[in-house]
Amino acid sequence: MDCQYLPLSKTGQFSSLFLDYIARKDSLQPFYSRFPDLASFEQQIKNRSFDQQRRQVLVDVLERQYQHIDNKPDLSRLLQPNTFVVTTGHQLNIFTGPVFVIYKLITTINLAKQLKEAYPDYDFVPVYWMASEDHDFAEINHFTLFGKNYAWQTEQRGAVGRMNPTELKSLFAQIPEKLSLFEQAYLNHSTLADAVRYYVHELFGEKGLISLDADDANLKKVFAPIMRDELVRQKSSELVQTQTQYLENLGYKTIITPRDINLFYLNDQLRERLERLDDGRFRVVHTKQYFTEEDLLRLLDEHPEHFSPNVVLRPLYQETILPNLAYIGGPSEIPYWLQLKGVFDHYQTPFPILMPRNFAMYVPAVSAKRIHKLGLTPEDLFADEVSLKRQFVEQHTAHALRFDKENVQVNKALDGILHKATVVDPTLERAVLAETKRFANAVARLEKKMRRAEERNQETGIRQLLAVKHELFPNGGMQERTENFLTFQLNDKAFLQKLLNVFNPFDFRMQLCLES
């Protein structure tokens, strides 16, 4: 696999906040702790102490969650004070969802490996935080395989990790390919979280990746003091709004908007926001459930699993229950973490190093040959189709498609005409300029006609060019945000290993992976 690279700033795909972060812009330094380079991890390790009791709770939970997994990882490593984790997280998209989810996991695995090489006195465990409590089913219920979309329809509600995935049996009948791994996962497990843990372990377990489902009463109990404070004082909203205002004053668009209470009420069929009413009671939004403060705090003490942090508090929950050093995120995640540092500082919780995931575009052998034959660079591929076609035609034509030299001569003649006319009668200036503009427009139209004619002459090359463009940007979007990894894995069993071999977690560039 041959790799070519392009700065993310040259792709036109990323926000200024994300690009300025990876460019280490000085004005953003107050919004994070340490920049994601290898040297920063030395100080991150020294400042990341983690309570032994919390380690025990974490290991006990993981042991229970992995009890039915064959060849389960050595979870006892996490009990050692010199063991840390690096974490990525994502929703439980069916069949893993877009291929960038796989990229996140591989980035995390490779980061742990590189940290072990750089700091051999410590152990590093890659962790996949399963967003099992997320309730936006429409975001996870579909995937694209070989350009065709498949969707899971269900009447189930609430946290997606608790849903029963055996309904996916009807979806397998629609898919021409035999997907044994996912049949084993979805049809032999009673919750989506268990199914995801199973297939992630089958894909990456031997690389040391551990999947954590934080929808757990014992883990929530560790986080309960902060959730209590959120219910009573509602401090996080103010802290995030302050950071958000600072970022917006710098000219950035922000991602998340905090609520007054950044917790959901959670049960088997429901995940809804909690809000405080003017009379001091609490209400579960879109229901008829009400609580006094005393009753709600008692419920938190007795059943912390009924409370679920939203996007504002979930990162803090993660860092409270994990001995984590870094969070590996995408171009939307990193910016919203930058809104949260004030919350971490307030609760005296170390802020993780924010690592961008690897960004890649996989180019199968046929398209790789076309790219080479057409002489395309990585930057060319990210141009819009109109610009790409124009550039291609101009590079491959044997003719001059512009009248630049002629225009110089004509404009000199027109200047002479204008001078002569205005000497005779100054009021003729407008008439001469109007004729000059009409002539310029006629030349521009003629250039367009010549270019279209040349496009017809180069029809074969343009057709090949657009075929590559459409394959790498299906429906106009980036491949990694649409195609599933199976599109490539089914044709090349070594696909995942190849990515493991070429991804460098400290290389923040777009990577074109061309098959030979």
For 90-148, the DSSP string reads: E---GGG-BTHHHHHHHHHHHHHHHHHHH-TTSEEEEEEEE-TT---GGGTSEEEETTE
Please say if the pLDDT value at position 453 is more than 70. no
Q: How far apart are CA 512 and CA 362, in angstroms?
A: 6
Eight-state DSSP code of residue 268: T
- How far is the CA of 377 from the CAs of 10, 363, 381, in angstroms? 12, 13, 7
Of 99-113, 231-245, 374-388, 421-435, least confident by mean pLDDT is 421-435
Query: What rounded mean pLDDT belongs to the chain?
Result: 93
Report the pLDDT value the prediction gives residue 307, as an integer from 0 to 100. Answer: 98
Q: Which helix (H) or strand (E) holds 359?
A: strand 359-363
Compute the average pLDDT of residues 425-441: 83
Q: Looking at per-residue confidence, does 468 or 358 come out higher?
A: 358
Helical packing angle, 192-204 and 100-118, nearest 10°: 50
Structure tokens at 72: 């389960």
Gap between the Cα atoms of 281 and 257, Å rounded: 23
Tokens in use for 291? 């609580």
Question: Does 400 have pLDDT greater than 60?
Answer: no
Least confident of 87-91, 348-352, 427-431: 427-431
Residue 433 pLDDT exceeds 90: no
pLDDT for 450 equals 61
More confident residue, 409 or 149: 149
Give the pair of three-digit tokens for residue 105: 């996991």
Residue 405 has pLDDT above 80, yes or no: no
- Residues 163-203 pLDDT 10s: 999 999 999 999 999 999 999 999 999 999 999 999 999 99
Q: Provide φ and ψ at 226, rounded to 5°.
A: -70, -40
Which residue stretches of 234-382 are H helix?
Answer: 235-249, 293-302, 314-321, 333-337, 341-346, 365-374, 378-381
Model pLDDT, residue 418: 78
Residue range 13-35, pLDDT digits in tens:
999 999 999 999 999 999 999 99
- Check residue 204 and give its pLDDT: 98
- How many angstroms separate the CA atoms of 283 and 276, rounded? 6
| Full-model pTM | 0.89
* Residue 457: pLDDT band with limits 50, 70, 90: low
For the stretch 55-72, pLDDT in tens is 999 999 999 999 999 999
Between 105-109, 110-114, 357-361, 394-398, the lowest mean confidence (pLDDT) is in 394-398
With cut-offs at 50, 70 and 90, classify the pLDDT of residue 397. low
Share of the chain above pLDDT 70, in %: 95
What type of residue is 325? L
Q: Average pLDDT in the 356-362 region?
A: 97
Confidence of residue 10 (pLDDT cuts 50, 70, 90): very high
What pLDDT is stored for residue 440 in this prediction? 77
* DSSP reduced 3-state for 347: coil
Query: How large a percentage of the chain has pLDDT more than 90?
Result: 80
Q: Are 206 and 58 in contact (CB under 8 A)?
A: no
pLDDT tens, position by position, 37-47? 999 999 999 99
**Length of the chain counted residue by residue:** 516
Identify the H or E element spanning 511: strand 509-514
Specify the 3-state DSSP secondary structure of 235: helix
Average pLDDT over residues 457-461: 67
280-329 per-position pLDDT tens digit? 999 999 999 999 999 999 999 999 999 999 999 999 999 999 999 999 99
**Residue 432 phi, psi (nearest 5):** -65, -45
pLDDT over threshold 80, residue 460: no
Q: Please, which pLDDT band fits residue 427 given cuts at 50, 70 and 90?
A: confident
Looking at residue 326, the DSSP 8-state letter turns out to be E
In a 3-state reduction of DSSP, which class is residue 83? strand
pLDDT (average), residues 411-428 = 81
Neighbouring CB atoms inside 10 A of 471's CB total 17
The edge-to-edge listing of strands for the beta sheet with 359-363 is 2-7, 509-514, 359-363
Strand order in the sheet with 270-276: 290-291, 282-284, 270-276, 263-267, 307-309
Over residues 191-235, the pLDDT tens digits come to 999 999 999 999 999 999 999 999 999 999 999 999 999 999 999
131: pLDDT strictly greater than 80: yes
pLDDT at 419: 82
Cα 287 from chain centre: 33
Supply the DSSP symbol for 254.
P
Task: Give 476-497 pLDDT, tens digit per residue.
Answer: 999 999 999 999 999 999 999 9
d(CA 67, CA 49): 28
CA distance 63 to 85: 16
Looking at residues 113-124, what average pLDDT do you find?
A: 98
pLDDT band at 423 (very low <50, low <70, confident <90, very high): confident
CA dist., res. 255 & res. 243, Å (int): 12
Question: Which residues 6+ apart lie within 8 Å of 218 measured at CB?
Answer: 57, 60, 61
Q: Which of 356, 354, 347, 323 is nearest to 240 (CA)?
A: 347
